[in-house]
Amino acid sequence: MPRSPHPQGSGRDARTSRLEYKGPWLGARWIVRSDSERLVRIAADFLTEEGFEARSDGFADSLRERGSEWTATALEIGDEKRSHRSWWRGLLTDELPFPMPHALQHVLPPTLVVASARPVAAGVAELVVFPHTSARGDATHARAAAPRVAAALEQITAAAGAEGAMLSHESLRGIANDGSPASQAVVREVLGWR
């Protein structure tokens, strides 16, 4: 099914209003009657609808080579350099005839989201989705992708609930460095994310 582009752009061109409420920075964990590959694919689809783009970094292959039980994918949004742009520069550089709306929108700083899943029992898998900010972008707006992440998490929860497959769900304010592909230690070591 073809997906419509996000109204505020996607990938490196994703923007957000400087005045928009950013909300809490959360991830989530679900236990679902499904298989790991399907869960990661579904999570990636919902994140893509919110403007995230899959990284072609061989993350899943790296995990397999390490003997990990997890299946995972990494998606990214934002741009390091353009996230530092001021609004007045936007007035001068955005395309005409309507530069003002783009000028008042902030280019998102780089944000990485990892969707990872592993089997926990026969026909049951654990899905973990967690976002990571980057020190490379505009620190003032480091969590500007929070509304997009929250929207994707809500859609994943609704989809699992609609299928009657969800066994449990919890929001995550942080994630332990326990070897999960969504943990800070793994994204730094395997993906070089800073």
pLDDT score at 84: 58
> Are residues 129 and 27 in contact, defined by beta-carbon separation less than 8 angstroms?
yes
> Are residues 13 and 56 in contact, defined by beta-carbon separation less than 8 angstroms?
no
Each residue's pLDDT tens digit in the chain (194 positions)? 345 567 777 887 777 765 566 678 899 999 999 999 999 999 999 999 999 999 988 898 999 998 999 999 999 998 876 665 655 554 444 444 444 455 556 778 899 999 999 999 999 999 999 999 988 877 777 888 999 999 999 999 999 988 889 999 999 999 988 889 999 999 999 999 98
> Are residues 122 and 86 in contact, defined by beta-carbon separation less than 8 angstroms?
no
Phi, psi of 136, rounded to the nearest 5 degrees: -80, -20
Distance CA 146, CA 78 (A): 12
- CA 103 to chain CA centroid, nearest Å: 24
pTM of the model: 0.85
Distance CA 159, CA 42 (A): 9
**In the chain, where the domains are located:** 21-80+111-191
Half-sphere exposure of 84 (CA within 13 A, CB side): 6
Distances (CA, A) of 148 to 13, 125, 128, 168, 186: 14, 24, 16, 22, 23
pLDDT score at 83: 63
pLDDT score at 103: 53
Q: Which fold has domain 21-80+111-191?
A: Alpha-Beta Plaits (3.30.70)
Distance CA 75, CA 58 (A): 12
Distance CA 44, CA 113 (A): 9
